A and B are shown apart, each in its own frame.
Chain A
Amino acid sequence: DVKVTQSSRYLVKRTGEKVFLECVQDMDHENMFWYRQDPGLGLRLIYFSYDVKMKEKGDIPEGYSVSREKKERFSLILESASTNQTSMYLCASSSRVGRDTIYFGEGSWLTVV
Chain B
Amino acid sequence: AQSVTQPDIHITVSEGASLELRCNYSYGATPYLFWYVQSPGQGLQLLLKYFSGDTLVQGIKGFEAEFKRSQSSFNLRKPSVHWSDAAEYFCAVARKRSNDYKLSFGAGTTVTVRA
Contacts and interface: CB of A to CB of B under 8 A. Distances in A.
Interface string A82-107: 00000000101010101101111111
Contacts of A43: 44, 90, 92, 103, 105
A98 B99 contact: yes
Interface in B78-114: 90, 92, 94, 96, 99-108
A59 B43 CA distance: 20
Nearest to B42: A106
Contact of B43 (A40, A48, A50, A107): A107
Contacts of B96: 98
Given A42-B106, A43-B90, A101-B49, A31 B43 contact: no
A4 interface: yes
Interface in A18-60: 30-31, 33, 35, 40-45, 48, 50, 58-59
A48 B107 contact: no
B102 A45 contact: yes
A50 B100 contact: yes
Q: How large is the interface on B (under 10, 10 to 19, 20 to 34, 35 or more residues)?
A: 20 to 34
Contacts of A104: 36, 43-45
B43 A94 contact: no
Contacts of A99: 32, 49, 51, 94, 101
A106 B99 contact: no
B9 interface: yes
Contacts of B105: 35, 42-44
Contacts of A30: 100
Given A42-B4, A45-B104, A99-B51, 10 more contacts: A33-B102, A40-B9, A41-B107, A43-B92, A45-B102, A94-B101, A98-B96, A102-B34, A104-B45, A107-B43
19 contacts: A31-B100, A33-B102, A40-B9, A40-B107, A42-B4, A42-B6, A42-B108, A43-B44, A43-B105, A44-B105, A96-B99, A96-B100, A99-B32, A99-B94, A102-B46, A102-B103, A103-B46, A104-B36, A107-B43
Interface of B: 4, 6, 9, 32, 34, 36, 41-46, 49, 51, 90, 92, 94, 96, 99-108
